[in-house]
Amino acid sequence: MAFWRRNTHVEKERRVKANARDHNDRFAYADNHIKTSKYNILTFLPINLFEQFQRVANAYFLVLLILQLIPEISSLSWFTTIVPLVLVLVITAVKDATDDYFRHKSDQQVNNRQSQVLIRGSLQNEKWMNIRVGDIIKLENNQFVAADILLLSSSEPYGLCYIETAELDGETNLKVRQASTVTSDLGDLSKLMDFDGEVMLVTLRNASRGFLSFSVFMLVKVCGLASAVNLHLFMPCPSGEVICEPPNNKLDKFTGTLYWRDNKYPLDNEKVLLRGCVLRNTEWCFGMVIFAGLQTKLMQNCGRTKFKRTSIDKLMNTLVLWIFALLVCMGVILAIGNTVWENLIGQSFQDFLPWNVYQRNAVFSGFLTFWSYVIILNTVVPISLYVSMEVLRLGHSYFINWDGKMYHRRTDTAAEARTTTLSEELGQVEFVFSDKTGTLTQNIMVFSKCSINGQTYGDVYDEFDQKVEITEKTPCVDFSFNPLCDRKFKFYDVSLMEAIKLEDPVVQEFFRLLALCHTVMPEEKSEGHLVYQAQSPDEGALVTAARNFGFVFRSRTPETITLCEMGRSVTYRLLAILDFNNVRKRMSVIVRDPQGHIKLYSKGADTIIFDRLDPSDEDLMYTTSEHLSEFAGEGLRTLALAYKDLDEDYFEVWMKKLLFASTVIENREDQLAVLYEEIEQGLKLLGATAIEDKLQEGVPETIARLNLADIKIWVLTGDKLETAMNIGYSCNLLRDDMNEVFVISGYTVLEVQQQLRNAKERILGLSRVTSAAGDVGKTDVLADDSVFEETLIAEYALVINGHSLAHALEPQLERTLLDLACLCKTVICCRVTPMQKAQVVELVKSHKRAITLAIGDGANDVSMIRTAHIGVGISGQEGMQAVLASDYSFAQFRFLQRLLLVHGRWSYFRMCNFLCYFIYKNFAFTLVHFWYGFFCGFSAQTVYDQWFITLFNIVYTSLPVLAMGLFDQILSSHTGCRRPVQPSLPEPLQTRPAKPPLQQAPVLPVHAPRDGHILPALLYSLRSLFPLSERGRLALLRPTNICRYHSNVLGHCRECSDWT
Amino acid sequence: MGKAKVKPGPLGRRPDNSAFKQQRLPAWSPMLTANSVLPFFYVMAVICMVLGVWLLLTVQSTQEIKVDYTDAGTCNVCLEMRKNVSNAAKSCSCTVRFEIQKAFKGDVFFYYGLRNFHQNLRRYMDSRDDGQLVGKKANLKNPSSYCEPFSKDPSGLPVAPCGAVANSMFNDSFSLTYHGSSGLTAAVPLLRRGITWYTDKNIKFHNPKIDNLTLPQVFEGTAKPLYWQRPVYQFEPLDPNNNGFINDDLIVWMREAAFPNFKKLYGILNRTNKPFKNGLPAGNYSVEISYNFPVQYFQGRKGVVLTTLTWFGGQNYFLPIAYLVTSGLILLVAVVLTVVWWKFGKNGNNMQE
């Protein structure tokens, strides 16, 4: 971690004592002064120069400069190098300096923000930078939180407060934070003055992960002991402190303990306000600073993003190396020429030009000539190319930002290129890995069906018991009896309403569960006008459904939930919330109803819930699971619901264990998970819900076009097999005319292996696989396969589920999986974990040498987005985490088409043409000197004026190439979309890196400048006069034309050179 | 990347709908089909052909005669004499005769030419002091180190002008005589002034000026270049505008040639008097050479060139030939393309794809 490098000692835990600056000062925690700027006035020059000369290009220039200072070698004046060098350095330095200046300014602005700090019993205004760890500060509504603080109390009941974390993770929905119950009454200053609690945060990171956890755990124990010893040594009366984890960058994790009045209280993420949040809907709150300044989680997250390099970058590096080798070659040739010439001819010319001392030795003279030519020919190594490419990429990414066709009107989001360095890579994408929910679909959830107690609701039947297609005209259920209903909600099956009216207890329990078991926040703007703030759209849909069916969720406090059940207001005491997470895949609440019964309500993924059902429910389970697969077949998202009556005594025992577990510091989460598991057993099934997630606009068309462009689309989704396949069909990924859809769903390695083999056999024909079966790794077989791959016309699809994928991703099977997957047109992986998503991407990335793109919208896609060459985030309903991790972001999946087929292709072609053109012009310019060497006795005499050489690249010829690189359009955007297959390239453009066009470039001008020495110069200087006329389609300027231009200008030049 | 400024309003983040930002700048993208490409090729071939023929005619209208006098006529004696270094100071003159069959019309230019003389070696080209030549007094007495080893004479006096370029200045001189058919013999008058570039004469070369001192006084304390017979201020003592550093011959020589074979302007025919009013009449000519410049060390040749000029320059066939060859090639390609199109492309749609 960056922080650890900065500080010499490793902070293993953090102890903070409230209102005790002296005490806290001993630990040398960072203060709240932030500094994001890199330089100050004094250090700017040395540091910036040092950084700049770390670039190869600049260093190369510097070496040249040094060479030029040796008079025996110097064939060009020093200014030919220093002018471009200084120009590049100055431009970069100015850019850095302005950047840094703005950083200084924003630092200063932030550091000088005012905040109210409790000092010696009174609130005083203090600048942010003067806030220290352990201070108690007061925040008011709509204020930014100044540092990471522990919430102590607030104006709202129960120490609640609401925050918006837009600056932190981009999510704009309100989140609740609640102060610990012991501190929530510290509302006034005198009480706060007395608060001398101490916060202790102990290393507890990744304790649940792999075998490392044990060692970490041991470390923690040791540290814990040490701290305990310290505690007793230095503080005979440990009245209180907070002990917590050292600064880290995990926004959603916090572990600590508050020691106060000889008690320990657990602290978690819910009690902490992070710097960068904004206080909302809360008049004021008090908090104690735990992390300040650079150690806050916000600042810890401001790391530099990992630099992704494009294949053109790599290609260019090798190209530059080759060109450099060529330069050395030319130098050697000319040096040898010089040696020979001096011996044969130069000797007889001595009367007019006597040899110097060093020239007596022809070999040494040749050696010096070599260096002279290295200086003269240096322009052949396209150093300014790097800078120009940066400019181009920046321009390309601005074009993406500006693209009106990638602007989504409804959400007011334009596309955003968050990385500027990848634009041409977009044109080479071969594999697209897509999330389903929120990416292919809208992620606007609509409660559409349910199964209650073995009975399905949601379909509409006519009088002949035939299913009726639901259209706009189908009459909706009338919810008018319910004044609190949501008018936008539509449901078509009247029978469910009737069941409720009949007061069927199971149906009632079903909706009660939906109304109770969730984490939605209600906002009642005016009487009866409810707005739900849901973190996941599924929850919102379910709660809204319950609301319309008469179980209105009205308000919640930390300890109660108030429903309005069929018009009656009922308040439930909330005893515990058993949180949802990706591992548990379920959430539960334990409530005490007004009658005093304790009940556990649980909802979650069907497999998970079914595993924990009471055995007596088996029959119902079978009918329900039939219904579930029916729902899933229609592409709906399903959840199973269950409840359990709890025994008072049993619950109390459990609750004690829970309380204890929630105060332990070491692997608290594991212990909690075990406890949760313990109580969520023997559940009684209520039924299942089915939520519809509509496809986004234009998804099938986009997929079809990307398919035509030979881009393979793999869908990686957490959904069920049936749901995934259904979506696959509806968005054109799977089609009925496909030869076969293979479904891999084995539970053991062998099974999976067998299924994969079988599928491959079916595709390739029996004989080929049997020969390959014994030794999969043999190269000739693989090579054969890949040949066969190309000629395969039949279309296959592969669907693989999470279980099988786990096995298939093991080292011995991954190759088989990949081969099979690449034979198929479509691959759908369902039930995959975020980790597996990344693994699949990694698999393709490492074995196929293809450019991969991952697109997703949720936090579960972040790993995949980070792994792929290009990550695309959809700014949708599920917050901004995916977007923050991505390289490109936009609002709708269909924009991917434009991004890849228009912008990607343009960038790619522009970049390739630009490189060709650039290298061509440098060669044409420089090789003149090579050929001239044969006329001037290899004496490293230049042809051009020195200022011309100096300014050729940076002034005279920089605009035309840049203009071409920015504005040239190989195809109109319209054609680009309509014809996804690149017409002029027989193979899919992605499989061919930029090599072919680039290799031609240097060859052309080798003979071109032979006679007309000034010709390329003239040609390009003419062009530079008319940069705007280049805006068209310069790519069409064929090499023949260029040659012809040459011959035209050439004669004139002959003239010129003869006249001298 | 910096955050874009967000305008207020519901569509605040919508990108501007301008031609530039939406990449809709007007552009012309020619559709390459046989119908457009083939005519283009033919037209280009014709244009190149016309240009080539025109230039050829222009070039042919110029007249040029080259006379290599290295060992021609009586000059072989001088050549032999110059082979011996000890004879360097002895003068030697010889005569070469040649005949002009067709009268040279218009301005006639007299060049001397050298072959195999490398004025383009880097160390040779650097071996001069531009500061000295532009008349800087400091450089006069203290020539730049680039001039080594021609910056000081053996006795330690600074050389003016210094350096290898000036030292190796071409020092043959010519007088051209016309032998008319009627036995009339007339010296061909040559204008020996105005043969330099304006910038050279007026900007890059100046004599050093010290108050009222005469040129020889100014150059006192400097030595003449090693190979020279006279110091620089004795080029033309009577004409202050052609003496010293601003002597036209010196200036012409100091502008180094780019190639080892080159010609340099010596004089322009003075057409004020008969029979040279219209140029050089046909007939026999002789050129008397004061043969000083040794070329045998570097297997060089020297000669004189008489030529007329057009707007296009001297007699140089490169460009017309280049045009004609290009034209031929384009025509060839065009024909091949036509045949290909005729045979395969006409009915196929692959051209459009």
Which of A354, A941, A1059 comes nearest B120 by C-beta?
A941
Classify burial at A127, counting beta carbons within 10 Å of its beta carbon; exposed 0-12, middle 13-18, buried 19 or more: middle
Predicted local distance difference test score (pLDDT) of residue A976 = 58
At residue B64, the 3 state secondary structure works out as strand
The whole-angstrom distance between B120's CA and the closest CA on chain A is: 5
| % of chain A with per-residue pLDDT over 90 | 4
Report the DSSP beta bridge partners of residue A853: A432, A870
A840 to A225, A753, A815, A843, A863: CA distances (angstroms):
43, 17, 12, 5, 11
Q: If you average pLDDT over residues A604-629, what whole number do you get?
A: 87
Of A453-467, A1003-1017, B91-105, the range with the highest mean pLDDT is B91-105
Q: Where are the domains of chain A?
A: 406-439+695-767+795-901, 441-647+683-694
Query: CB distance A1060–B256 less than 8 Å?
Result: yes
Which of A345, A356, A1047 comes nearest B326 by C-beta?
A1047
**What residues of chain A lie within 8 A of the CB of B44, using their CB?**
1044
Mean pLDDT lowest among A22-26, B171-175, B176-180, B326-330: A22-26
Provide DSSP, A396-422.
HHHHHHH-GGG-BTTTTB--EES-SS-
Query: Cα A1029 to chain center, whole Å?
Result: 40
Instruction: Read off the pLDDT of residues A544-588 as tens digits, 9 standing for 90 and up.
Output: 888 888 888 888 887 888 888 888 888 999 888 888 776 777 889
| Nearest residue to A414 (alpha-carbon basis) of A426, A400, A397, A394 | A400
- What whole-number distance in Å separates Cα of residue A562 and Cα of residue A553? 6
What single-letter amino acid sits at A137?
I
Local confidence band at A306 (pLDDT 50, 70, 90 cut-offs): low
* E strands present in chain B: 64-68, 93-100, 104-105, 108-115, 173-179, 185-187, 190-191, 262-269, 279-280, 283-290, 301-308
- What whole-number distance in Å separates Cα of residue A442 and Cα of residue A436? 9
| Nearest residue to A882 (alpha-carbon basis) of A357, A223, A274, A435 | A435
A132 to A25, A33, A128, A147, A176: CA distances (angstroms):
9, 9, 9, 9, 25
Classify burial at A502, counting beta carbons within 10 Å of its beta carbon; exposed 0-12, middle 13-18, buried 19 or more: exposed
Which of B44, B121, B319 comes nearest A1051 by C-beta?
B319
Q: What CATH class does A441-647+683-694 carry?
A: alpha beta
Q: If you average pLDDT over residues B104-116, what whole number do you get?
A: 91
Predicted local distance difference test score (pLDDT) of residue A20 = 75
Which residue in the block uniquely carries the two structure tokens 């390329």? A1016
Tokens of A312: 């053109």
- What whole-number distance in Å separates Cα of residue A242 and Cα of residue A257? 6
| % of chain A with per-residue pLDDT over 70 | 79
The whole-angstrom distance between B48's CA and the closest CA on chain A is: 9
Contacts A–B by Cβ distance under 8 A: 161
Local confidence band at A138 (pLDDT 50, 70, 90 cut-offs): confident
User: Roughly how many angstroms between the first and final C-alpha of chain B, as a whole number?
Assistant: 40
Nearest residue of B to residue A369 by CA position?
B122
Residue A1008 has pLDDT above 50, yes or no: no
- Other beta carbons within 10 Å of A198: 25
Tokens of A984: 């002029």
Local confidence band at A332 (pLDDT 50, 70, 90 cut-offs): very high
Local confidence band at B56 (pLDDT 50, 70, 90 cut-offs): very high
What single-letter amino acid sits at B98?
F
**What residues of chain B lie within 8 A of the CB of A1058, using their CB?**
259, 262, 313-314, 316
Predicted local distance difference test score (pLDDT) of residue A1014 = 34
* Mean of all residue pLDDT scores within chain A: 75
Of A4-18, A41-55, A287-301, A965-979, the range with the highest mean pLDDT is A41-55
Nearest residue of A to residue B41 by CA position?
A1041
The whole-angstrom distance between B24's CA and the closest CA on chain A is: 9
Query: CB distance B164–A941 less than 8 Å?
Result: no
Query: CB distance A412–B125 less than 8 Å?
Result: no
The whole-angstrom distance between A1040's CA and the closest CA on chain B is: 10
CA A813-A746-A718 angle, to 5 degrees, is 90
Mean pLDDT lowest among A480-489, A793-802, A809-818, A989-998: A989-998
Predicted local distance difference test score (pLDDT) of residue B148 = 80
Local confidence band at A835 (pLDDT 50, 70, 90 cut-offs): confident
| Nearest residue to A678 (alpha-carbon basis) of A649, A664, A657 | A657
Q: If you average pLDDT over residues B124-143, what whole number do you get?
A: 88
Main-chain dihedrals φ then ψ at residue B273, nearest 5 degrees: -110, 155
Q: If you average pLDDT over residues A467-488, what whole number do you get?
A: 76
Which of B14, B32, B117 comes nearest A414 by C-beta?
B14
Predicted local distance difference test score (pLDDT) of residue A1004 = 34
Query: CB distance A345–B298 less than 8 Å?
Result: yes
Query: CB distance B353–A941 less than 8 Å?
Result: no
Which of B16, B117, B122 comes nearest A939 by C-beta?
B122
**Contacts of A597 by beta carbon, 8 Å cutoff, 6+ apart:** A645
**What residues of chain B lie within 8 A of the CB of A1040, using their CB?**
333
Which of A75, A352, A414 comes nearest B122 by C-beta?
A75
What single-letter amino acid sits at B323?
Y
Report the DSSP beta bridge partners of residue A577: A589
Local confidence band at A866 (pLDDT 50, 70, 90 cut-offs): confident
Mean pLDDT lowest among A971-980, A1036-1045, B22-31: A1036-1045
Predicted local distance difference test score (pLDDT) of residue B47 = 93
Instruction: Read off the pLDDT of residues A758-769 as tens digits, 9 standing for 90 and up.
Output: 888 888 774 454
Helix axes A779-791, A811-823, angle to 10 degrees: 20
| % of chain B with per-residue pLDDT over 70 | 93
B263 to A593, A942, B69: CA distances (angstroms):
113, 20, 14
Predicted local distance difference test score (pLDDT) of residue B7 = 57
Residue A413 has pLDDT above 80, yes or no: yes
Higher pLDDT, A1050 or A597: A597
Tokens of A1036: 């069409």
Do A265 and A662 form a contact (C-beta atoms < 8 A)? no
Residue A1060 has pLDDT above 50, yes or no: no
Q: Report the complex ipTM.
A: 0.86
Do A385 and A392 form a contact (C-beta atoms < 8 A)? no
Residue A314 has pLDDT above 70, yes or no: yes
Predicted local distance difference test score (pLDDT) of residue A1052 = 32
Report the DSSP beta bridge partners of residue A115: A126
Q: What is the pTM of this model?
A: 0.70
Local confidence band at A99 (pLDDT 50, 70, 90 cut-offs): confident
At residue A867, the 3 state secondary structure works out as helix
Mean pLDDT lowest among A185-189, A399-403, A456-460, B326-330: A185-189
Query: CB distance B297–A356 less than 8 Å?
Result: no
Q: If you average pLDDT over residues A1020-1037, what whole number do you get?
A: 31
Q: List the catalytic residue out of A435, A493, A538, A968.
A: A435
Length of chain B: 353
User: Using a CB cutoff of 8 Å and minimum separation of 24, what contacts does A753-762 make?
Assistant: A753/A807, A753/A813, A753/A816, A755/A804, A756/A808, A756/A813, A756/A816, A756/A817, A756/A820, A757/A816, A759/A796, A759/A798, A759/A820, A760/A816, A760/A819, A760/A820, A760/A823
| Nearest residue to A843 (alpha-carbon basis) of A884, A800, A886 | A800
Q: If you average pLDDT over residues B67-74, what whole number do you get?
A: 88
A48 to A45, A94, A133, A305: CA distances (angstroms):
5, 10, 33, 20
Helix axes A811-823, A749-764, angle to 10 degrees: 30
Pinpoint the alpha helices (H) of B99-239. Answer: 122-126, 130-133, 137-141, 164-167, 198-199, 215-218
**Contacts of B6 by beta carbon, 8 Å cutoff, 6+ apart:** B12, B13
B301 to A932, B67, B70, B176, B228: CA distances (angstroms):
22, 11, 6, 20, 20
Provide DSSP, B115-153.
ES--TT-HHHHH-S-HHHHTT-HHHHHS--GGGTTSSB-
Instruction: Classify domain A406-439+695-767+795-901 at the CATH topology level.
Output: Rossmann fold (3.40.50)
Predicted local distance difference test score (pLDDT) of residue A970 = 66
- Mutate which of A100, A1043, A1060 to test chain B, going by most B C-beta atoms within 10 A? A1060
- What whole-number distance in Å separates Cα of residue A542 and Cα of residue A511? 9
Q: If you average pLDDT over residues A32-46, what whole number do you get?
A: 83
Do B13 and A414 form a contact (C-beta atoms < 8 A)? yes
Q: If you average pLDDT over residues A508-517, what whole number do you get?
A: 90
Q: If you average pLDDT over residues A929-941, what whole number do you get?
A: 87
Binding residues of A for ATP: 435-437, 539, 580, 603, 637, 717-719, 831, 837, 860-861
A737 is catalytic: no
Mean pLDDT lowest among A94-103, A479-488, A597-606, B291-300: A479-488
Predicted local distance difference test score (pLDDT) of residue A23 = 78
Query: Cα A301 to chain center, whole Å?
Result: 14
**Contacts of B206 by beta carbon, 8 Å cutoff, 6+ apart:** B133, B134, B135, B245, B246
Nearest residue of A to residue B15 by CA position?
A402
Mean pLDDT lowest among A342-351, A850-859, B183-192: A342-351
Query: CB distance B11–A409 less than 8 Å?
Result: yes
- What whole-number distance in Å separates Cα of residue B151 and Cα of residue B126? 13
Predicted local distance difference test score (pLDDT) of residue B346 = 61
The whole-angstrom distance between A348's CA and the closest CA on chain B is: 5
Do A278 and A161 form a contact (C-beta atoms < 8 A)? no
Residue B247 has pLDDT above 70, yes or no: yes
- What whole-number distance in Å separates Cα of residue B170 and Cα of residue A968? 55
Residue A924 has pLDDT above 60, yes or no: yes
Helix axes A362-376, A56-68, angle to 10 degrees: 130
Handedness of CA A186, A191, A192, A197 (dihedral sign): negative
Peptide bond into B275 cis (omega under 30): yes
Query: CB distance B258–A1033 less than 8 Å?
Result: no
Predicted local distance difference test score (pLDDT) of residue A205 = 36
Provide DSSP, A474-539.
SPPPP-TT-TT--TT-----HHHHHHHHTT-HHHHHHHHHHHHSS--EEEEEETTEEEEE-SSHHH
- What whole-number distance in Å separates Cα of residue B105 and Cα of residue B281? 8
Query: CB distance A412–B14 less than 8 Å?
Result: yes
- Other beta carbons within 10 Å of A201: 27
Element (H, E) at A244: strand A240-244
Residue A338 has pLDDT above 80, yes or no: yes
Mean pLDDT lowest among A216-220, A526-530, A880-884, A899-903: A216-220
At residue A357, the 3 state secondary structure works out as coil
Report the DSSP beta bridge partners of residue B190: B269
Nearest residue of A to residue B147 by CA position?
A353
What single-letter amino acid sits at A832?
V
